[in-house]
A and B are shown apart, each in its own frame.
Chain A
Amino acid sequence: DGGITQSPKYLFRKEGQNVTLSCEQNLNHDAMYWYRQDPGQGLRLIYYSQIVNDFQKGDIAEGYSVSQEKKESFPLTVTSAQKNPTAFYLCASSIRQTDTIYFGEGSWLTVV
């Protein structure tokens, strides 16, 4: 089935460590996105890519980095510079220049 696969679902890390969240899509979408969701808050855009390996910063890019070797894969690294990394991270994709985005199941990151 076509969809967006995020892994791992749950991740625990010690403060000061970098962590990478995986996102793969087989929808043949051109654009991919990373959002952060905190309890009781809306979704905030971290990074997105509409052309392979051409990344654009979203509203809260500081402390995060992305990479993209192929359009189907868009991993997110949460670096030690991110002050409050504990959150629910959502990967999404869309057909470029359309409005509708489709989300993965999310990854819970807890930093202790």
Chain B
Amino acid sequence: QQQVKQSPQSLIVQKGGISIINCAYENTAFDYFPWYQQFPGKGPALLIAIRPDVSEKKEGRFTISFNKSAKQFSLHIMDSQPGDSATYFCAASRGGAQKLVFGQGTRLTINP
């Protein structure tokens, strides 16, 4: 079964610190790796995504690091702010959005 394993389940970081969430996948055919951000009671919103032809992608304070040989990718949030407190989901797919496989989610709390 295709799986994406996400860790940790929950994470507490001090304001200004770096938040790091990791995901590991099994299917080497995956070619699209997005991260979604979800606030309580809301739907997930696409945050940033990467394809395996690059090892890193940065958008503002958010960076995805991708390690193809290890079949791992991670989200780094620099200078974490209380407004970043949310649940983050990684996902992976090949061949269209209907094939997206989601991780279990990480509840991130940024303490002021």
Question: How many residues of B sit at the interface, in one of the four size bands?
Answer: 20 to 34
Give every chain A residue within 8 A of B45 (Cβ-Cβ).
103
Number of A-B pairs, beta carbon distance below 8 Å: 64
Given contacts A40-B9, A42-B104, A45-B98, contact A106 B42 (CB under 8 A): yes
Q: How far is the CA of A102 from the CA of B38 in the complex (A)?
A: 12
Q: Which residues of B contact A (CB under 8 A)?
A: 4, 6, 9, 32, 34, 36, 41-46, 49, 89, 93, 96-98, 100, 102-105
Contacts A100-B34, A103-B44 known; 18 new A-B pairs at CB < 8 A: A6-B43, A31-B98, A33-B97, A40-B9, A41-B104, A42-B102, A42-B103, A43-B44, A43-B89, A45-B98, A50-B98, A94-B97, A99-B96, A103-B36, A103-B45, A105-B43, A106-B41, A106-B42
